[in-house]
């Protein structure tokens, strides 16, 4: 297999040729001295579009949004220079690591002879990022590059996906590469299990068949496996409702009555009550994260637990399961469907239905007349888009409101930083998502705190004519921290007032955006209609009261059933 | 409980930090770590002594398996095994003590590998407790320097 012009190209050209062979069509990058020759090779590529972000952190988040909007099939790629370029990747890599998003990050490095001398813009980036990548390489021999890049994409996208970093010293990129791309990947220590153990799956099915009150708890693993339809078949076969995690928000994009919402400390009451009462819990591609379980000792206490995950280390990490199954969510559900007979759980499902209205109940009580509530904006967004927009969020109250009121109906259509909770993720992720899905409506739901962390990427969106719709909850303070201070430090509010906020109308003007200000509940419908209809980069600024809270809320150390539902 | 893990790894740069870093990052304590070559070129064996209950050891093992270069992990404490450590110590050897020190070495079946005007270097291999005993026995003479390795271990018979 001769695919590289081996012996005629340098390392940088080999990198770009390898990216092309991995079907990369977009890279998010920021240039610098140590990656000059990589950019020189990139310039010549006809296949790869280069997107210059405004910081390297933006490049990682954009690559993440790009990967997720491509529904996990593709790795996002970002390129940064050595030193500060590389350190700016750290938050983005950690975000991708915690959420198992496939990324390949390429960094420049000082020449091999200079490594260790504290040279200009030298940093040990493989050392810094070791705990937050799935794997990393410091390439010291140019002839290793083709193999390294092939391995990197394989590692990033298979098993439990994650970020892989490739650090390339300047002289390595400049040297002539004589190696070809190896025909196959030889990683004897890396053997992700794709297919589950049949006998265990059979045992799980037996348990599910005996269940009187079964519940499915679906996480990000379902989304990255592309197992949405299979999950629907499973829910129907078992007559079991489906609760999801934040990462699994788009795991059940169907309107068929089985979806009961998100679990967790800001989860839907129906989901939290159902998990506390179910007798068999089938966790698929979820990891019993503390934001989901609250007090883990009390979580799903009545249930016998079946835990399906592609990462063996997740099994038994936070809870002990009766039937652990390691493997890809899609492959395992497929086998389950072979074994399972149709079941009916009319009484159980009716009981859950009776819990559903609790949600709006809470808000009826909390509602004050005439005031604009962000949840109403998101509920209307959900109505108008029918959940078919690709939504990205930042982190904070608006994120939980989005998770509660936006019902994602688009594959991979809910893009949020779940594990790390990275403020500043939303907008750059929207840039990546819009570039991956040009024809789709991409909406970034954000808050005034988060947005200001990375709104420099508005320039990237402007440069590429991306018609992203930003829906900004502006409550002039850090609302989620306010909420925490209210409950955990007796309302001693401190360090959360965002005084000095810019005039967002002027920000919009500066970036040539369409701008809408939303102050009154009666204007929500028409404003959103106008905003969503446009084909421009758009900002909808919603003026929200400081005091607005997100309910329900489960306080630290308590059970999911102990939801605080109003002030 | 103490577990001795024999971890076979591909001999690539960075693998030691990856493994060691994993322990500190996940909050596991390493009692000792020894690395050396094996009968297979390109494959090293890390012998890691870690303390913890079965649940922790299971997690350690699973997390170690996620390191791309890790090929095989064997918890030798689950089997019949032979484990050895190496100790070297420089002990003060005054004229009046020399005979007694040599006598002690015979009893422990350990070797004097360097003789100096004032001191001996003594080399000992054995189990952890034997080497503890050696250390105790020579302490009264005055230990000037001591260095001990971690354990390396091998399962008896055909297994492991």
| Pair A128, A90: CB distance under 8 Å | yes
State the number of CA atoms in the 13 A half-sphere of B152 facing the CB.
13
Please state the domain extents for chain B.
2-78, 82-155
Quote the CA–CA distance of A328 and A160 in Å, as a whole number: 9
| Pair B85, B148: CB distance under 8 Å | yes
Between the two ends of chain B, the Cα-to-Cα distance in Å is 21
Report the share of chain A in percent with pLDDT over 70: 97
Residues in A closer than 8 angstroms to B10, CB to CB, are: 188-189
State the number of CA atoms in the 13 A half-sphere of B60 facing the CB.
28
Q: What is the pLDDT of residues A394-429, one digit of tens each?
A: 999 999 999 999 999 998 899 999 999 999 999 999
Q: What residues does B69 pair with on adjacent strands? A: none
Which residue blocks in A161-197 are alpha helix, DSSP H?
170-174
Give me the mean pLDDT over the A424-435 stretch: 98
Output the pLDDT for position A359.
Answer: 66
Cα dihedral sign for A521, A523, A529, A533? negative
Chain B interface includes A386 (CB < 8 A): no
Which residue blocks in A340-373 are alpha helix, DSSP H?
346-355, 358-366
Output the pLDDT for position A1.
Answer: 46
Quote the CA–CA distance of A404 and A421 in Å, as a whole number: 17
Question: Do B71 and A188 count as a contact with CB atoms less than 8 A apart?
Answer: yes
Catalytic residue among A114, A121, A194, A339: A121
Question: Do B68 and A155 count as a contact with CB atoms less than 8 A apart?
Answer: yes
Q: Is the predicted pLDDT of residue A366 greater than 60, yes or no?
A: no
| Pair A537, A458: CB distance under 8 Å | yes
Q: What residues does A553 pair with on adjacent strands? A: A564
Quote the CA–CA distance of A374 and A509 in Å, as a whole number: 23
Q: What is the pLDDT of residues B16-55, one digit of tens each?
A: 999 999 988 888 889 999 999 999 999 999 999 999 998 8
Quote the CA–CA distance of B62 and B72 in Å, as a whole number: 11
Among A442, A424, A407, smallest CA distance to A66 is for: A442
From A76's Cα to the closest Cα of chain B, the distance in A is 21
| Pair A223, A230: CB distance under 8 Å | no
Give me the mean pLDDT over the A101-119 stretch: 97
Chain B interface includes A155 (CB < 8 A): yes
Quote the CA–CA distance of B121 and A340 in Å, as a whole number: 71
Quote the CA–CA distance of B143 and B124 in Å, as a whole number: 14
What residues have CB less than 8 Å from B54, skipping those under 6 apart?
none
CB pairs under 8 A between A and B: 38
Q: What is the pLDDT of residues A5-49, one digit of tens each?
A: 888 999 999 999 999 999 999 999 999 999 999 999 999 999 999
CA distances from A174 to A41, A168, A552 (A): 11, 10, 57
Residues in A closer than 8 angstroms to B18, CB to CB, are: 130
Give me the mean pLDDT over the A157-179 stretch: 97
Which residue blocks in A239-314 are alpha helix, DSSP H?
269-277, 290-293
Output the pLDDT for position A361.
Answer: 60
Quote the CA–CA distance of B17 and A390 in Å, as a whole number: 40
Kindly report the CATH class assigned to B82-155: alpha beta
Output the pLDDT for position B24.
Answer: 87
Q: DSSP string of B58-74? A: HHHHHHHHHSTTEEEEE
Kindly report the CATH class assigned to B2-78: alpha beta
Nearest to A189 among B10, B55, B58 (CB): B10
Output the pLDDT for position A356.
Answer: 85
Q: What is the pLDDT of residues A446-469, one digit of tens each?
A: 999 999 999 999 999 999 999 999
Q: What is the pLDDT of residues B84-140, one digit of tens each?
A: 999 999 999 999 999 999 999 999 999 999 999 999 999 999 999 999 999 999 999
Question: Do A317 and B13 count as a contact with CB atoms less than 8 A apart?
Answer: no
How high does pLDDT run on average in chain A? Answer: 95
Chain B interface includes A310 (CB < 8 A): no
Output the pLDDT for position A18.
Answer: 97
Output the pLDDT for position A360.
Answer: 60
Q: Is the predicted pLDDT of residue A71 greater than 80, yes or no?
A: no
Give me the mean pLDDT over the A367-392 stretch: 91
Residues in B closer than 8 angstroms to A188, CB to CB, are: 10, 71
Catalytic residue among A98, A453, A455, A480: A480
C-alpha gyration radius of chain A: 24
What residues have CB less than 8 Å from A457, skipping those under 6 apart?
A53, A54, A55, A58, A62, A427, A428, A431
* A486 annotated active-site: no
Question: Do A187 and B68 count as a contact with CB atoms less than 8 A apart?
Answer: yes
Among A408, A379, A377, smallest CA distance to A392 is for: A408
CB atoms within 10 A of CB A180: 17
Cis omega (within 30 of 0) for bond into A508 = no
Nearest Cα residue in chain B from A135: B68
Output the pLDDT for position A567.
Answer: 66
Identical fold for domains B2-78 and B82-155, yes or no, is: yes
Q: Is the predicted pLDDT of residue A364 greater than 70, yes or no?
A: no
Chain length of chain A: 567
A85: buried, middle or exposed (CB in 10 Å: 19+, 13-18, 0-12)? buried
* A374 annotated active-site: no
Chain A interface includes B18 (CB < 8 A): yes
């Amino acid at each position: 297999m001769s695919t590289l012009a081996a012996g005629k190209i340098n390392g940088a050209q080999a990198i770009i040729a390898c990216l092309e062979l991995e079907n990369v069509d977009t890279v998010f990058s920021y240039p610098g001295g140590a990656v000059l020759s990589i950019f020189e090779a990139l310039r010549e590529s006809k296949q790869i579009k280069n997107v210059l972000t405004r910081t390297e952190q933006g490049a990682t988040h954009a690559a993440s949004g790009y990967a997720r909007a491509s529904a996990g099939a593709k790795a996002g790629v970002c390129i940064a220079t050595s030193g500060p370029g590389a350190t700016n990747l750290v938050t983005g890599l950690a975000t991708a690591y915690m959420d198992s998003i496939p990324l390949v990050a390429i960094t420049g490095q000082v020449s091999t002879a200079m490594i260790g001398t504290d040279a200009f813009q030298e940093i040990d980036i493989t050392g810094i990022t070791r705990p937050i990548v799935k794997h990393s390489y410091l390439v010291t021999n140019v002839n290793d590059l083709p193999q390294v890049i092939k391995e990197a994409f394989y590692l990033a996208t298979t098993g439990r996906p994650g970020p892989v970093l490739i650090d390339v010293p300047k002289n390595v990129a400049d040297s002539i590469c004589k190696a070809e791309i190896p025909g196959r990947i030889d990683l004897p220590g890396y053997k992700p299990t794709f297919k589950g153990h049949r006998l265990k799956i059979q045992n799980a099915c037996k348990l599910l068949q005996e269940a009187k009150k079964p519940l499915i708890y679906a996480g990000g693993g379902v989304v990255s496996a592309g197992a949405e339809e299979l999950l629907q078949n499973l829910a129907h076969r078992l007559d079991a409702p489906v609760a999801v995690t934040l990462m699994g928000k788009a795991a059940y994009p169907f309107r068929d009555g089985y979806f009961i919402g998100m679990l967790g400390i800001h989860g839907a009451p129906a989901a939290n009550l159902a998990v506390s009462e179910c007798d068999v819990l089938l966790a698929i591609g979820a990891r019993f994260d503390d934001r989901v379980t609250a007090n883990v000792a009390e979580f799903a206490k009545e249930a016998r637990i079946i835990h399906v995950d592609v990462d063996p280390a997740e099994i038994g990490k936070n809870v002990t399961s009766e039937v652990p199954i390691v493997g890809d969510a899609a492959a395992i559900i497929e086998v389950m469907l072979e074994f399972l007979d149709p079941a009916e759980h009319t009484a159980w499902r009716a009981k859950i239905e009776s819990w559903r209205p609790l949600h709006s109940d809470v808000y009826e009580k909390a509602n004050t007349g005439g005031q604009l509530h962000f949840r109403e904006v998101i509920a209307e967004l959900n109505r108008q888009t029918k959940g078919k927009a690709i939504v990205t969020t930042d982190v904070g109250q608006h994120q939980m409101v989005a998770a509660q009121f936006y019902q994602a109906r688009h594959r991979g259509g809910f893009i949020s930083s779940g594990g790390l909770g990275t403020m500043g993720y939303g907008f750059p992720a929207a840039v990546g998502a819009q570039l991956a899905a040009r024809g789709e409506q991409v909406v970034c739901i954000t808050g005034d705190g988060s947005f200001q962390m990375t709104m420099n990427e508005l320039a990237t969106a402007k440069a590429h004519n991306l018609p992203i719709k930003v829906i900004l909850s502006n409550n002039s303070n850090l609302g989620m921290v306010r909420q925490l201070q209210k409950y955990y430090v007796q309302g001693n509010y401190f360090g959360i007032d965002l005084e000095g906020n810019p005039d967002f109308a002027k920000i919009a003007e500066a970036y040539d955006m369409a701008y809408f200000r939303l102050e009154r509940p009666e204007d929500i419908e028409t404003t959103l209609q106008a905003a969503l209809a446009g084909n421009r980069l758009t900002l909808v600024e919603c003026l929200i009261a400081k005091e607005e809270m997100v309910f329900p809320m489960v306080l630290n150390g308590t059970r999911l059933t102990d939801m605080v539902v109003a002030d | 409980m103490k577990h001795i893990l024999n971890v076979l790894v591909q001999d690539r740069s960075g693998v030691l930090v990856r493994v060691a870093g994993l322990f500190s990052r996940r909050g596991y304590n390493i009692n000792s770590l020894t690395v050396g070559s094996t009968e297979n070129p390109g494959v090293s064996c890390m012998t890691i002594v870690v303390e913890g209950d079965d649940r922790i050891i299971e997690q350690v093992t699973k997390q170690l398996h996620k390191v791309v270069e890790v090929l095989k992990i064997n918890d030798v404490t689950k089997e019949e095994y032979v484990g050895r450590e190496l100790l070297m110590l420089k002990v003060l050897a005054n004229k009046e003590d020399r005979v007694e020190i040599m006598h002690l070495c015979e009893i422990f079946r350990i070797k004097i590998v360097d003789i100096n005007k004032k001191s001996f270097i003594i080399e000992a291999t054995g189990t952890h407790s034997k080497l503890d005993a050696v250390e105790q026995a020579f302490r009264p003479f005055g230990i000037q320097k001591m260095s001990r390795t971690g354990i390396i271990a091998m399962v008896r018979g055909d297994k492991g």
